[in-house]
Structure 1
Amino acid sequence: MSPDQPAAARPLTPLDFQLVLLRRMADHQPDLVEDARHELGVSIAEMRESNRRWQAMVRSPRSRGAARRYRSVLGAPEAVVRRKIGDLECEALLWPVPLWPGLRFEVLTAPGGAVWNEWLVRAPGAPGPVLRTADDLVPWSCTVDEVARAFAPVRPMEGTAPTRWRLAFTPPGGGPHIADFTWGLLQQVQLPDT
């Protein structure tokens, strides 16, 4: 990440966006993030700078809508899929994420373009993990939807920060567990506080 332009002057790229995803995941999985950062060939300072620039763009008073922001950074979506949720029809915009080839970054938009959700999902046609027990829930192996389907019924809980989700569930033959997700990707599974 050392183009001729200073970092602040050049547009954000898909690599910068991956670093933004990693920056939030570092709170739960610092070792996995460190490995991914090395795989991408970037320094901690570059990861922090990408996150700083993303946050500045998100909070800017001249900020474009969220869907336009993603298009400006990630380019045209790989796929645009129409979905029906209840009586509402929406669009899911999907982008590849090289760090996780079996996943896509999904932005779910309402009629009129408002963004309802933005997270990582399994790529269409890509096999997901087999999830039978809590031991199968390995960090970065599965998405919110996959855990919700495998261990239904689940109870959605408020996340600990923006871009975070939690699910309470009880695996077969086990007691209550809580799964923590960042950007839709599993980070950790824990027992609830007693």
Structure 2
Amino acid sequence: MRDVNAPRVEEALKELHASAAEVRAAQTQWTKMAYSARAPRGLRGLRAVLGSPVSEGTAEFGALSCKVARWRLPYWPELEFEAVAGPGGGVWHQWLVRPGEVRRVGFAELVPWTCVVADVVASFPGAEQREGAAPNHWAVDFSHESRKYRALFVYGLFQGFAPAGRNLADA
């Protein structure tokens, strides 16, 4: 998320007492595992990294029945990491979600890393979800006081918003 919200990432690293070297080592470890020919794939691969999920089940998407698993992550105790695996076992989607009911937020409460896609969609009538500009990025178009905005999410976690037609970096 450093590419979208670098100042917040720096704050988080200080809170976690993590050095740049530790972050690079963790990224290297993750990359090696994610692209290793011998590493487990799909939900098995996530279990190998994250441990046992707090919940598992199935979800119907049209005629497809998909497996859904969720994990708690220490840095975001109010959220869960959700992965959806298709019939072949491959993970089709993964993001942070709020367990239970969504949290409604006002426009002034749109602070990076405090809400997820469902919170914003539920809070602004007529909001529409969109694909993001990169893998694991998502967007939500919404209106507030007759102005149109686009909220940007990475792994489902709110990063910021900009007036419609402008980039987050320009806002």
- Give TM-score, length-normalised by structure 2: 0.85
Match of 1:68 in 2: 44
The answer as to whether partners of 2:138 and 2:153 remain within 8 angstroms in 1 is: yes
In the alignment, the residues of structure 1 paired with residue 19 and residue 88 of structure 2 have an alpha-carbon distance, to the nearest angstrom, of 39
Partner amino acid for 1:99? Answer: Y
Match of 1:177 in 2: 149
Unaligned runs of 5+ in 1: 1-24
Secondary structure of 2:8's aligned partner: helix
1:80 aligns with 2:52: no
CA RMSD of aligned residues (A): 2.0
Identity of aligned residues (%): 36
In the alignment, the residues of structure 1 paired with residue 147 and residue 164 of structure 2 have an alpha-carbon distance, to the nearest angstrom, of 10
Partner amino acid for 1:80? Answer: E
Unaligned runs of 5+ in 2: 167-171
1:3-37 deviations in Å (ceiling 9; x for gaps): xxxxxxxxxxxxxxxxxxxxxx1222222222221
Match of 1:157 in 2: 130
Q: Which stretches of structure 1, 4 residues or more, deviate above 4 A after TM superposition?
A: none
Partner amino acid for 2:164? Answer: P
Match of 2:91 in 1: 115
Choose from 102, 109, 115 the match for 2:78: 102
In the alignment, the residues of structure 2 paired with residue 183 and residue 121 of structure 1 have an alpha-carbon distance, to the nearest angstrom, of 9
Choose from 64, 81, 90 the match for 2:66: 90
Secondary structure of 2:43's aligned partner: helix
Change (3 A) 1:48 1:174: farther
Deviation at 1:108, TM superposition (A): 1.1
The number of residue pairs the alignment matches comes to 166
1:75-132 deviations in Å (ceiling 9; x for gaps): 111111332223332222111111110000111122342212111001236xx54323
Secondary structure of 2:77's aligned partner: coil
Bigger strand share: 2
In the alignment, the residues of structure 2 paired with residue 37 and residue 148 of structure 1 have an alpha-carbon distance, to the nearest angstrom, of 29
Partner amino acid for 1:81? Answer: G
Stretch deviating more after TM superposition (96-105 or 84-93) = 84-93
Match of 2:160 in 1: 188
